[in-house]
Amino acid sequence: MRMEGEAPEQSAPLLEKTPGAGGSGGNYMYLEGCPGCAVDRRKAENPGIPYGSFLYVWIVTLCTALPISSLFPFLYFMIRDLHVAKRTEDIGFYAGFVGASFMFGRCLTSTVWGIAADRIGRKPVIMFGIFSVVVFNTLFGLSVSYWMAIATRFLLGALNGLLGPIKAYSIEVCRPEHEAVALSLVSTAWGLGLIIGPALGGYLALPAEKFPKVFSPDSLFGRFPYFLPCLCTSVFSAAVLISCIWMPETLHKHKVSENGNQSIEALEAHLIDPKEKVEQSGSLDTKKSLFKNWPLMSSIIIYCAFSFHDMAYTEVFSLWAESEKKYGGLSLSSENVGQVLAVTGASVLVYQLFVYPRINKVLGPIKSSQIAAIICMPILFAYPYMTYLSEPGLSIVLNIASVIKNNLGVTIITSTFILQNNAVPQDQRGAANGLAMTGMSFFKAAAPAGAGIVFSWAQKRQHAFFFPGDQMVFFLLNVVELLGLILTFKPFLVVPEQYERK
């Protein structure tokens, strides 16, 4: 894209003008005092990876991941200790609703937070979300009843608008050639959360029992046995909240003129490789409705389907691993489950940093998602048969299967991130990611509750003829995976133009 009066071979950074310069001459304009223009100018002048900005993406995503991932190693025991389940088989039923309450709260407000991020900026929405983690994650650790646990998790989800804006932010702080790395950082940070979170939950829960010389049964941590891992997460989030004071804003704060000289697309167009750019016409005054943007909506639907599967799998895995062998489980302790999840998270971290960007470059986001979904299905089919293994073979096989399954899962999720953020212009990314978060959160709210109900039902049918016991649970997970795979093909999935060739 070249404007009138511009040299045919312009490769230097964009020219700077004052707001009163009038906009004639066809040169792109950076406006003084606009944080979005400052970021765009920095991208034009520095083609390398913005490590400082990526660090913010990393630690903010961790603030979202830790309260979720640290819950699962001790959720089974927390529900047991709250005495809401009259029978052991019913623990999964009640545990599912605690896991669902966070996602249900996030479902109700994610679109609102996304719109707010497009209007007032990414930074204030992100900082408020981190503040909510500090407050309500702490209160969750102090829960004295089942309903307090549900209420604090719900409010934590409803007031936590982090993930949508941080995905938009990760795209906006780097040049287009680094966007796969930028969005994979979100999944990488989530993977790091899968290391730290389960370790905190598994090793620090019940501290008075595990470390009686350090924590007295009459101390705060003795009376609230699941408070310590929550407190550690909240302290980390408080430190991140303070550091975000210096985080740069990426949203443009000036109005868009009718002739397009100050349009966000014009500011970004110089940075985009013409071979990779989707041609856009018209001004931002005639923005396309998100609901009529089928490349966006189709990728969101696929994102929701696989998010439902991943959340259900996470819920089922912990419940299945900790349940007794007579019910088809593995009888593992919270420490054992935390160790498996930590190993898995470490592998996701390495995979997202060093492997996924290369896979995406070769296969593209669509083919890599399809291959990952196909490989997942036989792995899920093998899980119920691990109950026949004994140590140390069980630990080895369980860790390998969990590592492969989760790496394939983040391949799919990260690929949908890329498709979503390339389907909209910058001033709609917050709303688009918020809409995606709303849909995803709804399905992730239904997943733990549904998985818990199905898990409890499956444990009561250990001797059924058709997929007895937990075999039925993993069979249904495969059905969801297959449905998601089907949706990744045409004509359902429509992708941004730059991916048509991949």
List, for residues 442-476, the tens digit of each pLDDT value. Answer: 888 888 878 888 888 887 887 788 888 788 989 99
What's the pLDDT tens digit per position in 104-129? 888 888 889 988 988 888 999 999 99
Q: Is the pLDDT of residue 239 over 90?
A: yes
Nearest residue to 122 (alpha-carbon basis) of 176, 68, 171:
171
What is the identity of the amino acid at 44?
Answer: A
Contact (CB, 8 A) for 14 and 270: yes
Dist CA 134 CA 369 (whole Å): 35
Q: Is the pLDDT of residue 371 over 90?
A: yes
Dist CA 260 CA 266 (whole Å): 7
Query: Which CATH architecture describes the domain 50-250+290-497?
Result: Up-down Bundle (1.20)
Dist CA 349 CA 192 (whole Å): 6
Nearest residue to 486 (alpha-carbon basis) of 332, 305, 309:
305
What is the identity of the amino acid at 239?
Answer: A
Q: Is the pLDDT of residue 267 over 60?
A: no
DSSP tag of 495:
-
Band the pLDDT of 325: cuts 50, 70, 90.
confident
What is the identity of the amino acid at 222?
Answer: G
What's the pLDDT tens digit per position in 206-226? 888 888 888 888 888 888 988
What is the identity of the amino acid at 60?
Answer: V
Q: Tell me, what's the pLDDT at 498?
A: 57
What is the identity of the amino acid at 349?
Answer: L
Contact (CB, 8 A) for 108 and 158: yes
| Residue 35 burial class via C-beta count within 10 angstroms: exposed 0-12, middle 13-18, buried 19 and up | middle
Contact (CB, 8 A) for 314 and 190: no
Contact (CB, 8 A) for 330 and 321: yes
Nearest residue to 61 (alpha-carbon basis) of 317, 420, 410, 338:
410
Place of tokens 């019940």: 206
Cα-Cα-Cα-Cα dihedral sign, residues 383, 388, 394, 396: negative
Q: Tell me, what's the pLDDT at 380?
A: 92
Q: Tell me, what's the pLDDT at 485?
A: 96
Three-state DSSP class for 174? coil
Q: Is the pLDDT of residue 274 over 70?
A: no
Dist CA 221 CA 226 (whole Å): 8
Q: Which residues in 114-153 are b (16+ Cβ under 10 Å) and which e? A: bbbbbeebbbbbbbbbbbbbbbbbbbbbbbeebeebbbbb
Output the six-digit token pair for 117: 């991020």
What is the identity of the amino acid at 159?
Answer: L
Q: Tell me, what's the pLDDT at 43?
A: 84
Q: Following CA atoms 465, 471, 477, 480 in sequence, which dihedral angle do they give, to the nearest 10 degrees?
A: -20
255 vs 252, residue with greater confidence: 252
Band the pLDDT of 492: cuts 50, 70, 90.
very high
Dist CA 114 CA 166 (whole Å): 10
Average pLDDT over residues 148-165: 90
Instruction: Map out the domains of the chain as residue ranges.
Output: 50-250+290-497
Output the six-digit token pair for 27: 């040169």
Give this prediction's pTM.
0.68
Q: Tell me, what's the pLDDT at 24?
A: 35
Q: Tell me, what's the pLDDT at 77?
A: 76
Nearest residue to 109 (alpha-carbon basis) of 153, 161, 64:
161
Three-state DSSP class for 226? coil
Q: What is the DSSP string of 303-322?
A: HHHHHHHHHHHHHHHHHHHH
Name the average pLDDT for the chain: 80
Output the six-digit token pair for 150: 């549900």
Q: Tell me, what's the pLDDT at 282?
A: 35
Where do the H-state alpha helices sit in 422-469?
429-459
Dist CA 51 CA 58 (whole Å): 10
Distance of CA 14 to the CA centre of its chain: 34
Average pLDDT over residues 144-158: 92
Band the pLDDT of 496: cuts 50, 70, 90.
low
Q: Tell me, what's the pLDDT at 346?
A: 81
HEC assignment per residue over 115-156? HHHHHHCHHHHHHHHHHHHHHHHHHHHCCCCHHHHHHHHHHH
